[in-house]
Chains A and B, each alone.
Chain A
Amino acid sequence: MSGHVEILERRAGAVDIIVVKGRLDAGSSEKAEERINRVLDAGGRSLLVNLCDLDYISSSGLRVLLAALKRLKKDGGALRIACAQPQILEVFTMAGFHRIFSLSPDEAAALAGFAVGS
């Protein structure tokens, strides 16, 4: 079941942007994981995850993001998260993930972060 999440993909130069909207819970995280892995399988090494319109994330959603971060770090890539709303940030903080992810207030700032290297 994944009807409560919407995932869009875009590119900005060498950066792959994945926009996750709605709910990222145990029922929808597999779909997000598949989409992210497809981008990484295609050679993507700079991944921006836009969470501007994400309403909810659980530990299942964090697991997907952590798996992507681990894979990218191993391959010399980078992952940046843009625009997580306060309640989403609170979940990141509870998990200690605010210390291991690059969190940017908006997509432009995240893109600029790739430009200077991360």
Chain B
Amino acid sequence: MAELTVRADLGALASIAEFLAGALAGSGDDLVFAVQLAVDEACSNTILYGYPDGEAGTITVTCIVDDDAVRVTIADDGVPFDPLTAPPPLLDIPAEERPIGGLGVHFIRTVMDSVAYAREGERNVLSMEKRRPDSL
């Protein structure tokens, strides 16, 4: 198991990506990219909207890799927020009319095989799983 705790700051996103690249080394570029995207989108939401009163907290990313799957947990101490309640984006309407919101969660749902949210005490916990391609 690998674990990283960072301050909830946009500058930490690149560090989180590097952490995942290390934790998933040898798992294939596509899997690494997919997990990086899902975690980046989730952490971006937390950093941008999770601390409306100004004082940034911390985000802890945990990554467990076994033969079958990659399991990532993102825990933060921001305001209670379930990203999975966001409505799906409208992907087929013209560019001029498209709202941009909701895309991040759409990416998470698309690249991961399962996503679950829980509020545990004072923390939001987002658990995501992606099966490894050679385990299918």
A51 to B11 Cα, complex, angstroms: 22
A60 contacts B by Cβ under 8 Å: yes
Bound Cα distance A74, B96 (Å): 9
B94 within 8 A of A: yes
Q: A23-B17, A26-B10, A87-B30 are in contact. Are A94 and B107 (CB under 8 A)?
A: yes
Give the residue of B11, B14, B100 whose beta carbon is less than 8 angstroms from that of A66.
Answer: B100
Interface residue count on the B side (C-beta < 8 Å): 30
The majority secondary structure among interface residues of chain A is helix
Please judge, given known A-B contacts A25-B13, A59-B107, whether A96 and B92 are in contact too, CB under 8 Å: yes
Contact indicator B94/A58 (Cβ below 8 Å) = no
A binding-site residues for B, Cβ under 8 Å = 1, 3-4, 23, 25-27, 56, 58-60, 62-63, 66, 69-70, 73-74, 87, 90-91, 94-96, 99-100
